[in-house]
Amino acid sequence: MMGLLSGLQGAASAVASGHRQGSRRSSVGADLNNRPPPPGEEDETSVLDEEQGSIIMSMISQLRIGMDLSKVSFPTFVLEPRSMLERITDFMSHPELVFGAEEDPNPEERFLKVLQYYLSGWHIKPKGVKKPYNPVLGEFFRCHYDYPNGTQGFYIAEQVSHHPPISAYFYISPANKLRICGELRPKSKFLGNSVATVMEGENRVFLMGKPEDGEYVISMPNMYARGILFGSLILELGDLCTAKCEATGMVSDVDFKTKGFFSGTYNAIAGKIKRDGVEVGTLEGRWSHQLQYTPTKTGEKRTVFDAATESKNVTSKTVAPEEEQELNESRRLWSKLTAAIAAKDMEAATTAKCAVEDAQREAARKRIQANGKHVTRFFEQRSDGLWVPKILNKLPADAPADEIVKIVKEWIWAPRPATPSLTVATDTPASSSHASPTKESTTSSSPVQHRVGSSFTL
């Protein structure tokens, strides 16, 4: 074990001096690992400068193989400037792919539309390896969408647990008869030259116009940040993602393939779609580029998702300006950190990050002293352990869309009933890229871009 730790620290030292260390077993392997990405793949990797390498060296010196990383503080330069609660909205970027699915009489086609909607959320990502902020207990993010067809969608996410970390989220578009619930339970481990994040939790898609289908339940692939000690830094998705609809007998195991050392490509997936155990089609392609579906009966391959085309159709989300947000709403809570990252001021970023984390620890200490318990605001845990919005059973099944919209808006944007459990010492919200009433257009080239609107109205 001591030899292993010495090796890790030696590799970290090489990172700090600006030289990525290759394996002694093969100079060819080392050359391959340090080779620039092929044309068109530049956004998949990133290389650290000398200062960043020194910080990584300091962090790695604390790590052990198999170590749980939930309590390890990552350097601010690897942070994507938004909370995980907001990052989840990437999966609400292409709801039009599943809008109207309830009208299709073919259960195979309905299942495929739900699956292609889910897979379309992965192509929106920052360049290289970036990690969103870890949400703190009681933090929440809310927004709404205005679609080209005159309808709306609403989203709310809340950090319902800190140890273990659990993020619960809810999306609904009443007029388009779509509802999505889910939770993320990430668990990260250090594996040597990579960090693995096991993405426990699930997405539950419900077609409100086809209630007899029940929920379409979709699990998530795992994430791997590779090249921490040597080679280029890259974030990959790997392992199986399972989608199923028990009512119709539809199921699919989608294999997210990681790139091989000598062959393969980034972001490849392959999967079989079955109904009652019988294969009805196959899915293949790259989630960052194109996905094709081939039905078993006809053998005629068709494109079900094209990132180049669909990235032009992402509907902006509308978020209240920070000065109108509550203290523990994501953008206001992390505003100083976001501003510091935008200014490339890593010292200020570290200070801002620590301020939020210290406030969380202080709030936890006070709860323990008072024998208190954190009370979630928007979500509740069912007897089966899943988290659902507290409003779920209050939504009338046969009510007009306008009535449901009114109920949802009043619930998500209701004034806070009690004093926030988490506050960070601040004067006015720090100036940042989130100025004034904003509409955000999410793209893969820039994780946080905004268009200024005339007013924040629902």
| In contact, 244 and 229? CB cutoff 8 Å | no
- Residue-level pLDDT at 237: 87
> What is the total residue count of the chain?
458
- Which residues are registered as beta bridge partners of 439? 318, 451
pTM value? 0.79
Range with lowest mean pLDDT among 170-174, 441-445, 446-450: 446-450
Q: How far is CA 3 from CA 6, 13, 64, in A?
A: 5, 15, 12
Band the pLDDT of 56: cuts 50, 70, 90.
low
| Paired strand residues for 132 | 80
Average pLDDT over all residues of the chain: 79
The answer, yes or no, to whether residue 236 has pLDDT greater than 90, is: no
Whether residue 330 is predicted with pLDDT greater than 70 in this model: the reply is: yes
* Mean of pLDDT values over 182-202: 85
The C-alpha atoms of residue 351 and residue 341 are separated, in whole angstroms, by 11
Output 390 or 12, whichever has higher pLDDT: 390
Q: 111-156, pLDDT tens digit by residue?
A: 999 998 998 888 877 666 778 899 999 999 999 999 999 999 999 9
**pLDDT computed for residue 71 by the predictor:** 55
CA distance 154 to 171: 6
Residue 438, pLDDT > 90, answer no
| Amino acid identity, position 13 | S
CA-wise closest residue to 129 among 262, 269, 237: 237
Which pLDDT belongs to residue 280? 96
Check residue 214 and give its pLDDT. Answer: 97
| Structure tokens that stand for 4 in this block | 């292993």
**How far is Cα 82 from Cα 141, in angstroms, rounded to an integer?**
10
pLDDT higher than threshold 60 for residue 18: no
Q: How far is CA 384 from CA 181, 198, 218, 283, 381, in A?
A: 15, 21, 17, 32, 8
State residue 4's pLDDT score. 35
Short-list 421, 307, 314, 273, CA closest to 360: 421
| Residue 435 pLDDT greater than 50, yes or no | no
